[in-house]
Amino acid sequence: MQSYTMERKQDRDDSIEDNGRSDQVGFLRRTTQLLSRYGIETRGIAPVPADERLDTRWYQLFFIWFSPCMNILGFSSGTAGPAFFSLGVRDSIAIIVTVDLVCCLLPGFFAVFGPKLGMRAMVQARFSWGYFGAIIPAVLNVLSLEGFLILNCIIGGQTIASLSSRLDDTLGIVILSIISLVVTFCGYRVIHWYESVAWIPNVIAFIAMLAVGYPQLRENLSAPVPPATPANVMSFASFLASNIIGWCPMIPDYGVYHSPDASSARIFIYTYLGFFVSNVTGQVLGAAFAAAAPSVPAWNAGFDNSSSVGGLLHSVLLPTGAFGKIMTVLVALSISSACAPPIYTLSNSFMAIATWFAAVPRWVYILLSEGILIPVAIIGAKRFYATFVDMLNIIGYWSSIFAAIILTEHMLFRRASFSEDQYPITIWASYALLPSGIPAVVAFVCACGALVPFMSQAWYVGPVARHGSGDVGVLVGFVVGVITYALARRLEKILYKKIGKSDPY
């Protein structure tokens, strides 16, 4: 009798638990339906069918990347040359132009996948990494994008704080987080609209900085500087490459509703120019003003011992009075243009980790990201450059390997074709029909192991980097990733043939 009573009690407990779970699911479903009525994007990570990829505003593929890079984030990357790597302005500019010319090719390549296949980056990755193997880049992407968001908000917070001694980083971080949340919450189409206009105040501010600061730049940039060491040159180049390559795991997400009718070359050119023009402009200006700052007392005070990029920008614009303050505020607020894409892709990457993650609506992950972003950014603002360089380099390490694997698979094994034969989109969620992913995982592990001796971080310096090579981990990871994936993938095809199993890929 006692056993029967206990069983009945357990049944009631289970029923209560099931009802609670059903109520939670019902609440999420009702909320998502309500948001959908107001035009909020609620689609998950399922590929967008060709008949729904109708947007022909391909110029948006230029602005979606021009705006996030044509702001104080790109300016900050350029300042790292003189301020962190002790390079002169001429060396910094030469490295910036060279690296951007080459590295912007990769984002251009990845942009083509969005309109042609209608798949998010972490879903498309399953066609080389396999269903389970693709969990690795999805998890890394979530962590990397959250770190990238933190960096963006720190820079914006510092810029707002530079306006008055009564302001601090915290206020700016909170304001930027809220703006980024609103833009991203609305979804794909609102993000594209926002990025089409967010660059305007930044371009005006940079032109004003150049006009106001040109006399000091001309006078102080000719000062002699110590010769550049190979280690600093390579480390700065690697840092810049990481800044660009780190966008690759998210780029296809912003073309999935655009028509595939445009040629691959047209999509590539729009994206390449969006990245190249914005990065070169912002980074060159950042390097020039950072190199001149020590010789201009007002700028140096604003730069705050090379720790406040926002302070440097404000101090340069200070002679323009109220106009300078207004532009500083607008530039700080527009950093949300660099926050919106990472938040959006972070939600996609979360859903690509596991099936039950995909059942949770996108807006839940956006709120979760914001909850983590604000407190961590407030703490991270205390060590800006160390945090900035370390975070971007780490993102660059794994992103370069990821890009190498996707590129090799597409060019060598799928004949550079986007046809249904090469990418049967309908199997995107089938672990049995997708590739095994073993070659990708093997290549990733090998490339990660190979780049460790070439790393140079505040917390670890590899033996090769210690002997003067600088940080070339991004380059080593990419090269080893291409070679090992090509060999492992070819070996897999040979083994399939020997055991009589067909390999349709």
Alpha carbon 23 to its chain centroid, in Å, reads 36
Answer whether 414's CB lies under 8 Å from 456's CB.
Answer: no
Which residues face 55 on adjacent strands? 258
Contact at 8 Å (CB) between 87 and 232?
yes
Give the span between the Cα atoms of 220 and 215, in whole angstroms. 9
Supply φ then ψ for residue 220, to 5 degrees.
Answer: -105, -15
**pLDDT score for 384:** 53
How far is the C-alpha of 164 from the C-alpha of 308, rounded, in Å? 13
Count CB atoms within 10 A of the CB of residue 459. Answer: 7
Q: Token match 């590539």: residue?
A: 268
**Angle at 261 (CA atoms; ends 255, 266), nearest 5 degrees:** 70
Residue with the two structure tokens 């996948």 = 113
Q: How far is CA 60 from CA 109, 273, 339, 486, in A?
A: 16, 12, 17, 34
Model pLDDT, residue 17? 39
Residue 252: the pLDDT is 95
| Phi-psi region at 88: left, alpha or beta (left = phi > 0; alpha = psi -120 to 50) | beta
DSSP 228: P
pLDDT at 4: 40
274 and 65 Cβ atoms separated by less than 8 Å: yes
The pLDDT, as a whole number, for residue 394 is 80
Please give the Cα distance from 157 to 177 (Å, whole number): 10
What was the pLDDT predicted at 389? Answer: 59
CA 403, distance to chain mean position in Å, is 13
pLDDT at 504: 53
Q: How far apart are CA 102 and CA 83, in angstroms?
A: 24
Domain locations in the chain as residue ranges:
48-498
Cβ neighbourhood burial of 3 (10 Å; 0-12, 13-18, 19+): exposed
The predicted model scores a pTM of: 0.88
The one-digit pLDDT tens for each residue of the chain (505 residues) are: 444 444 444 444 444 334 444 555 566 677 767 666 666 777 889 999 999 999 999 999 999 999 999 988 889 899 989 988 888 899 999 999 999 999 999 999 999 999 999 999 999 999 999 999 999 999 999 988 888 888 888 878 878 877 777 777 777 788 888 888 888 888 888 999 999 999 999 999 999 999 999 888 888 766 667 777 888 899 899 989 988 999 999 999 999 999 999 999 999 999 999 999 999 999 999 999 998 888 888 888 888 776 678 888 889 998 998 898 899 888 888 888 988 999 999 999 999 998 888 888 888 888 888 888 877 777 665 555 455 556 667 888 899 999 999 999 999 999 899 999 899 999 999 988 999 999 999 999 999 999 999 887 767 788 888 877 778 889 999 999 999 999 999 999 888 877 766 665 6
Structure tokens at 383: 């060590």
What's the topology of domain 48-498? Hydantoin permease (1.10.4160)
Residue 169 · residue 157 · CB < 8 Å: yes
Looking at residue 223, what is its pLDDT? 64
CA distance 58 to 67: 15
